[in-house]
A = this chain, B = another copy of it.
Amino acid sequence: MKRTLGVCYYPEHWPDETWAEDAARMAETGITWVRIGEFAWSRLEPSPGDLRFDWLDRAIETLGAAGLRVVLGTPTATPPRWMIDKHPDMLPVDGQGRVRGFGSRRHYDFSHAGYREESRRITRLLAERYGKNPHVAAWQTDNEYDCHDTTLSFSEAARRGFQDWLAQTYQSPDALNRAWGNVFWSMEYDDFSQIGLPNLTVTEANPAHWLAFRRYSSDMVVLFNKVQVDEIRKHSTAPILHNYMGRVTSFDHWKVGADLDIAAWDSYPIGFLSDRIENDAGRKLDFLRQGDPDNQAFHHDLYRAVGRGRWWVMEQQPGPVNWAPWNPAPLPGMARLWAWEAFAHGAECVSYFRWRQAPFAQEQMHAGLLRPDSAPAPALAEATQVARELAAMPEVEPGRAQVALVFDYESAWAWEVQPQGADFDAWRLAFAAYRACRRAGLNVDILPPDCADLSAYKLVLAPGLMRLSDPLRAALAAFKGIALIGPRTGTKTAELSIPVPLGPGLPDCDVTVALAESLPPGAKVKLSDGGRFLHWFEHLEGSATVHMSTKDGRPAIMGNDSLRYIAGWPDDDTFDHIIGYHCDVLDIPTCVLPDGLRVRDTATHRFVFNYAAKAQMWNGTRIPPAGVHWEPLA
């Protein structure tokens, strides 16, 4: 498949007369795709029912005439001001009970049925008008679900919706009381209408109460998205995508993704480094202008899976952004490196955000490919170079992986509800495992928690899954490689209680988590071989083989030939050792990469990326800072 570049464009921000020139420059840059429309509701419908699609017709025509293909976004992330008058109770409410008002974006509640119908209506109108438009070659639903923490809302609409969902899920208050263990602290309910939202209780609410609300809230995102997808499909055969975000776990992307054709995500490596990825302060400075060297790859692999193979970068950072605590400029070359890394992981399209920096409003300090005065910003030349390189490149097809990592959103909710140790975080644990694989130079596939077949892999990692799904348990039972399971995996029931018999309940493998400990920063459990666990440690029992021990003689890894339970959270060196050892056993080739140098194999090539601010050597080749190197696979 030929990989393409794209860009995000806001015709409504610029005089009509600039559109044609912009389109010509985009084409000249080598751009294929242009995403438009996703925030333009106030221009599409300035007052209720007053539809103004003419400008959008012209914009699409202008872009199409320049040979560009349009991704048309539904504008539902930004309901116009009049919508609030029509549905005053559609505004979301935060966990402190404060209404989140109009004046920015995402001012809607996923639970609000009235707004969901408005969203269906505008989507239907767009699909009817543009479903057969030859230039509209893809659709985007809404924009960045959960952005600004909007999955959860503590509104009246949410309360009523949650009660209905509970009634459907549990059928009777008694069943719910039993499932949640509400006999504890006399929390029993007689009627679903008595059940409030789990925020603002005197002390923490029942974890099962929270988990149910997290599931409900995720389901509302799935539903909101599906309503739009259903409308679009009635009128268009073009693929539909949504642009997900980085490190967002508040809704189940697997479920949203199941209704879409393509998964896309918005990749802001420098912004994420600043405020979303754990690194010590020194390492943050080392990668200040490059981003965390593994975070993009993780999301590439995750969304490749969410998209069942089809995925894009819908928004690629081109320069400084406006929204992180600090916003430095990328090292020269990074706008190219990030694009190539995405392609090496299988992206069909990398789309820069945005064409021209807006001189006004919230994102005025967010760079584009052009400056506000239309002069080229630094990334324009790099995008042009990528386009040129893509044109010269044989097809880039994703490589196979021998290693897989299971990632589960529900577990993220579970451990957020019940961290037990203040810094326990499901995503962070999965990412720690992923990083260790990356340091060993491995291709990794990410798998959903209900995957039923592991036969393509030699090594499977399944850390921090609250429970093992039936398909996954069956797949593990049949697995011929080695699965590294835990910590915490399988230690909870579906209702976030403790199973009896205790977990993890591995098939034909007698390991029991007898007791769990969380460890504050600075505390560690030393292993017999010099390694150590941080954050978390479980006391294991059972008749399975102890493969690794703590210094004071407790099991650290325990299991049989195929299934092995890790009793704690390995530090980086220990993770390296565990991954390296098991790859050796399984005959998976590894290498030891210096910090910042990362590799990814496509079907035909090994790509090498230098995230470091200094040159590094790879097999005798000097890779400059922000350098990209590729070589045929041996």
Which of A25-33, A249-257, A518-526 is the interface stretch?
A518-526
Residues in B with CB closer than 8 Å to A495 are 360
- Check if A372 is an interface residue, CB within 8 A of chain B: yes
Chain A, 59-103, CB within 8 A of any chain B CB? 75, 78-82, 85, 92, 96-103
Closest residue of chain B to A536 (Cβ to Cβ) is: B326
Q: Are A184 and B517 neighbours in the complex by a CB distance under 8 Å?
A: no
Residues in B with CB closer than 8 Å to A96 are 96, 98
Q: Are B365 and A516 neighbours in the complex by a CB distance under 8 Å?
A: yes
- Report the interface size for chain A: residues with CB under 8 A from the other chain: 108
Residues in B with CB closer than 8 Å to A106 are 202-203
Give the residue among A80, A359, A418, A539 with the most B Cβ atoms within 10 A. Answer: A359
Q: Are A102 and B203 neighbours in the complex by a CB distance under 8 Å?
A: no
Which of A42-50, A340-348, A390-398, A471-479 is the interface stretch?
A42-50
Q: Are B101 and A196 neighbours in the complex by a CB distance under 8 Å?
A: yes
- Check if A371 is an interface residue, CB within 8 A of chain B: yes
Closest residue of chain B to A13 (Cβ to Cβ) is: B183
- Check if A606 is an interface residue, CB within 8 A of chain B: no
Q: Are A104 and B328 neighbours in the complex by a CB distance under 8 Å?
A: no
Give the residue among A104, A106, A206, A367 with the most B Cβ atoms within 10 A. Answer: A104
Chain A, 140-193, CB within 8 A of any chain B CB? 147-148, 150, 180-190
Q: Are B418 and A365 neighbours in the complex by a CB distance under 8 Å?
A: yes
- Check if A634 is an interface residue, CB within 8 A of chain B: no
- Check if A198 is an interface residue, CB within 8 A of chain B: yes
A383 to B288, CA, bound (A): 54
Nearest CB in chain B: distance from A534 CB, A: 11
- Check if A429 is an interface residue, CB within 8 A of chain B: no
Closest residue of chain B to A177 (Cβ to Cβ) is: B42
A497 with B360, Cβ < 8 A, contacts A104-B203, A201-B104, A285-B522 known: yes
- Check if A329 is an interface residue, CB within 8 A of chain B: yes
Residues in B with CB closer than 8 Å to A107 are 201-202
A 607-628 to B, binary, CB cutoff 8 A, 1 in contact else 0: 0000000000000000000000
Q: Are A181 and B39 neighbours in the complex by a CB distance under 8 Å?
A: no
Residues in B with CB closer than 8 Å to A186 are 39-43, 75, 78-81, 105
Residues in B with CB closer than 8 Å to A190 are 46-47, 81-82
A104 to B207, CA, bound (A): 10
Residues in B with CB closer than 8 Å to A47 are 190
**Interface secondary structure of A, over-half rule:** loop
- Check if A480 is an interface residue, CB within 8 A of chain B: no
- Check if A204 is an interface residue, CB within 8 A of chain B: yes
- Check if A586 is an interface residue, CB within 8 A of chain B: no
A319 with B209, Cβ < 8 A, contacts A188-B81, A520-B288 known: no
Q: Are A502 and B373 neighbours in the complex by a CB distance under 8 Å?
A: yes
- Across the interface, A363 reaches (CB within 8 A) one of B12, B184, B200, namely B184
A202 with B325, Cβ < 8 A, contacts A46-B188, A378-B515 known: no
A518 with B326, Cβ < 8 A, contacts A187-B42, A359-B497 known: yes
A80 to B185, CA, bound (A): 9
Residues in B with CB closer than 8 Å to A357 are 498
A520 with B325, Cβ < 8 A, contacts A104-B204, A204-B104 known: yes
Residues in B with CB closer than 8 Å to A10 are 184
Q: Are A360 and B523 neighbours in the complex by a CB distance under 8 Å?
A: no
A39 to B186, CA, bound (A): 6
- Check if A361 is an interface residue, CB within 8 A of chain B: yes
- Check if A514 is an interface residue, CB within 8 A of chain B: yes
A186 to B539, CA, bound (A): 55
A327 with B421, Cβ < 8 A, contacts A13-B183, A190-B81, A502-B371 known: yes
Q: Are A189 and B81 neighbours in the complex by a CB distance under 8 Å?
A: yes
Residues in B with CB closer than 8 Å to A319 are 515
- Check if A18 is an interface residue, CB within 8 A of chain B: no
A47 to B190, CA, bound (A): 9
- Check if A36 is an interface residue, CB within 8 A of chain B: no
- Check if A310 is an interface residue, CB within 8 A of chain B: no
In the complex, the 6 A-B pairs of residues with the closest C-beta atoms, listed nearest first? A181-B360, A184-B361, A42-B186, A359-B498, A103-B201, A78-B186
Task: Sample 27 A-B pairs with CB under 8 A, ordered by A number.
Answer: A12-B183, A39-B184, A46-B190, A80-B188, A81-B187, A96-B96, A101-B202, A103-B201, A103-B202, A104-B185, A104-B201, A148-B202, A181-B361, A181-B364, A204-B362, A206-B361, A285-B520, A320-B515, A326-B421, A328-B517, A328-B518, A359-B499, A364-B498, A365-B516, A372-B498, A372-B502, A373-B500
Other than the known A42-B183, A184-B360, A357-B498, what 6 A-B pairs have Cβ atoms closer than 8 Å? Answer: A96-B96, A102-B187, A103-B201, A106-B203, A285-B522, A320-B516
